[in-house]
Chain A
Amino acid sequence: MKPLAIVVFALFAVSMNAGVCEAAIQGRTGTEFDLVARAGHITTGDGDSILMWGYAVGNGLMQYPGPTLIVNEGDLITVRLKNELSEPVSIIFPGQDGVLAIGGNSGLLTREAPPDGATVVTYTFVASQPGTYMYHSGTRVDFQVEMGLTGALIVRPSSGANRAYSHPQTSFDREYLFVLSEIDPTIHELVELGRRSEVDMSRYFPVLWFLNGRTSPDTMADDGAPWLPHQPYGCLPRLHPGEIILTRVIGGGRDLHPFHPHGNHLRIIGENGRLLESAPGAGPDLSYSDFTLTVVPGSTYDALFTWTGEKLGWDIYGHGPGDPLQPNEYAPDHGKPLPVQLPEKQNLMFGNHYSGSPFLGAFGDLPPGTGGMNASGGLFFMWHSHTEKEIVNNDIFPGGMMTMLIVEPPAVRIP
């Protein structure tokens, strides 16, 4: 491992121990949002600092992706946009119909805010159906989405909390957002050098890949990590055994990304903000199970995921036969021993996420200087783009479109 990566992983370990992770999807709730398009620099895992354009909340910093707008089904939503950039920008809302735009100037796809920092364009629509959506610029869409003018929109069903859609079979215990995107830094460098006119989008060649606007390992850092002021959203799914997490996946860039969860399959119950059902009210009877989700740019996916260790053939807690069951434990494997004899420590290499024990919630002796990134005895599963070249940061491995899912012991509180 390169020295830089060691430093970054060490930083991450510190942040994990601080333990301020958030399980709910971070964002802005309400019915009215004031966004300003402005510029700022993000940092990437290769040590780069890249000029981005993004949607900021009011006087806040540019952020990538833009603020996640979390609204309720049936609400009348108002989004006001001002523009502090150097060319007109706008917002369109794929999957919403009847969006009314007033103010500003007419553009190709919608009304646009001129780059004067003052003119307000107002977009209003009724969030008529629950689901996961996105919003992004409707002006020079290829260029401005690349520059960062994009964000997530979540419409919660009126039928109740902790459901993706109205139907009870879409219930979840926790939810996480995955906005998949990529950029070609040469475009951003040309813009920064005042050579915007030289940008040729047909020569697009991305080398940086993101989850929620961060490259790995920053994906695993806290929401709002202070050293990532323009990238406020982490991407570290955590669950207790047997809990159901809703993964809201958004194709935010322009390339296909096969998104690969480890640990279990995803059960995809919704796409494009619509429940996969054969008839209204049927529930997700057309859902399907994937271990590599084809994420199409511009499309969204709602998938349920759970993990109990079912059918591993050994007891994940290391129980004896007489011990009580843990909540949601897969009973047929209760008390079954680990079916291999662990090698002597001098014959092992130790990954950063190994607690010293194969059992959930347990720790074991580790040689000095090893481990350290698993504060709770959790089980770590890598979730990543299955286009393996996308798990680098501009040619430096590991990085890119990659994070970890942590199965936490029942006693560990997940906020």
Chain B
Amino acid sequence: MNTVLKVSCVVALMAAFAVPESAKGAVFYLRAGETNLAMPDGQVIRVWGFARDTSLALNDGTITVPGPALEIPIGDPNLTIHLKNHLPNLNGAPVPVSIIIPGLTAALNPVRHVNGRVRSFTHESFPGTPGTYSWNDVKPGTYLYHSGTHPALQVQMGLYGSLTKNFSTGEAYAGKIFDREVVLFYSELDPALHSAVALDDYGPGKSVTSTVHYAPKYFLINGSPFSGAASPLPAGSVGEKVLVRFYNAGLKSHAPLLQGAFMKVIAEDGRAYRYPRERYSFLLPAGKTMDALVEFRSAGQYAIYDRMMALTTGAGLPGGFLAFLAVSAAP
């Protein structure tokens, strides 16, 4: 980087800091880094994830997969994410990272490899050089954010999370009132890739050269595969309107099926349907979000499982995309 560019960057940064944060709407400080996830069968998987810090200077958040749930204040169309890059080097070089949010409009600045191929859908953050990502038209809805840099690798490694904005308090979209909220965030892990990345054995000339042989073995809801030890998710009480937000950050399609109750599917990709769709199951393709309202008619534990049968943990354990919603009796 030449001196003129450096200076201009510093000026730009100073200019950004000079604006009071309150005037820019929601501001988040995210940090991409690595951590480990323990699977119910004893496997420990190296993943990349996001942490939410309180400032650019402090690294006081915890790296999680999925990343922190970002909530945009009601009525606020503006969003700024400052992204720090603490990812490990691969092949002796830093790994750039970025953030995109499908469904939110933003001016993107693609970055290309020297051979002209696109490497990143938008500008990148490097170790020591945070990037700033801004949106000014955030509509109420349920969204996924994820890395926009080498997404075939980085989304699979765990660089994703949820972003929500309500229309008003207790109102997801205009007229879509809810009393309780349940998050079902689906993602997948193929341990072969994670192992190769952890050992710096991924890339040209290494033992794993691409993500083309994707074969997920672990299916995570809110960051964990089902296990007998898992607690049911609280889903309010009988008669309440329960909003279930579905996210699929995996690379495959799935079909959540709610056993014993119907849902009113009210929105897809952060946009409300004109007419709700009454269903016990629906297709949840990769990268999609769906919102459903459920009014349970009796107390109990309701299973919700993937009807496309990602119901295994590793080779042998039952588990995977299975969760229970705990509904209590009407107060």
Contacts and interface: CB of A to CB of B under 8 A. Distances in A.
A219 B215 CA distance: 33
A141 B311 contact: yes
Given A97-B297, A98-B298, A298-B257, A272 B278 contact: yes
A296 B254 CA distance: 9
A4 to B, nearest CB: 32
A201 B309 CA distance: 9
Contacts of B257: 94, 298
22 contacts: A94-B257, A95-B262, A97-B260, A97-B297, A98-B297, A108-B303, A108-B322, A109-B303, A140-B318, A146-B309, A197-B316, A200-B315, A201-B312, A202-B314, A255-B308, A256-B308, A272-B281, A273-B280, A294-B283, A296-B307, A298-B281, A299-B283
A271 B305 CA distance: 19
A121 interface: no
A286 B303 CA distance: 29
Contacts of B315: 200, 202-203
Nearest to B283: A296
A189 B283 CA distance: 31
A293 to B, nearest CB: 12
B255 interface: yes
Contact of B311 (A201, A256, A286): A201
Interface in B292-321: 297-298, 303, 305, 307-312, 314-316, 318, 320
A254 B260 CA distance: 20
B259 interface: yes
The A interface, classified by DSSP as helix, strand, loop or mixed, is loop
Contact of B260 (A99, A200, A251): A99
B217 interface: yes
Interface of B: 215-217, 253, 255, 257, 259-262, 275, 277-283, 297-298, 303, 305, 307-312, 314-316, 318, 320, 322
Contact of B309 (A145, A203, A272, A273): A145
Contact of A299 (B279, B305, B312): B279
Contact of B279 (A202, A256, A274): A274
A142 B281 contact: no
Contacts of A298: 255, 257, 281, 307-308
Contact of A296 (B255, B320, B322): B255
A254 B278 contact: no
The B interface, classified by DSSP as helix, strand, loop or mixed, is loop
Interface in A87-121: 92, 94-99, 108-109
Contacts of B275: 278, 286
B275 to A, nearest CB: 5
Given A141-B311, A254-B309, A200 B255 contact: no
Contact of A254 (B216, B307, B318): B307
A297 interface: yes
Contacts of B309: 141-142, 145-146, 201, 204, 254, 297
Residue picked from A109, A202, A254, A273, most chain B C-beta under 10 Å? A202
Contacts of A96: 260
Nearest to A136: B307
A256 B282 contact: no
A142 B283 contact: no
B307 to A, nearest CB: 3
Given A98-B298, A109-B303, A142 B312 contact: yes
Given A141-B309, A142-B311, A202-B216, A92 B279 contact: no
A254 B320 CA distance: 15
Given A142-B311, A202-B217, A296-B255, A94 B281 contact: yes
Interface string A281-312: 00000100000001011110000000000000
Interface in A259-288: 271-274, 278, 286
Contacts of A138: 259
Interface residues of A, number: 36
Contacts of A278: 275
A272 B262 CA distance: 9
Given A202-B217, A271-B279, 9 more contacts: A94-B257, A97-B298, A98-B297, A138-B259, A200-B312, A202-B314, A256-B283, A272-B278, A299-B281
Residue picked from B215, B307, B318, most chain A C-beta under 10 Å? B307
Contacts of A273: 280
A204 B257 CA distance: 20
Residue picked from B217, B305, B309, B320, most chain A C-beta under 10 Å? B309
Given A272-B278, A298-B281, A200 B262 contact: no
Contacts of A141: 305, 309, 311
A272 B264 CA distance: 12
A298 B312 CA distance: 17
Contacts of B311: 140-142, 201
B273 to A, nearest CB: 10
Nearest to A97: B260
A272 B280 contact: yes
A298 B282 CA distance: 9
A361 B210 CA distance: 58
A216 to B, nearest CB: 24
A251 B308 CA distance: 10
Contacts of A204: 309
Nearest to A296: B283
Contacts of B281: 94, 272, 296, 298-299
Contacts of B305: 109, 141
Contacts of B280: 94-95, 272-273
B218 to A, nearest CB: 9
Nearest to A129: B262
Contacts of A271: 277, 279
A297 B312 contact: no
A191 B262 CA distance: 35
B312 A202 contact: yes
Residue picked from B217, B259, B310, B315, most chain A C-beta under 10 Å? B259
Contacts of A98: 260, 297-298
Contacts of B316: 197, 200
A185 B328 CA distance: 43
Contacts of A202: 215-217, 312, 314-315
Nearest to B307: A298
Contacts of A256: 253, 283, 308
B282 to A, nearest CB: 7
Contact of B282 (A254, A286, A296): A296
A55 to B, nearest CB: 18
B48 to A, nearest CB: 22
B39 to A, nearest CB: 13
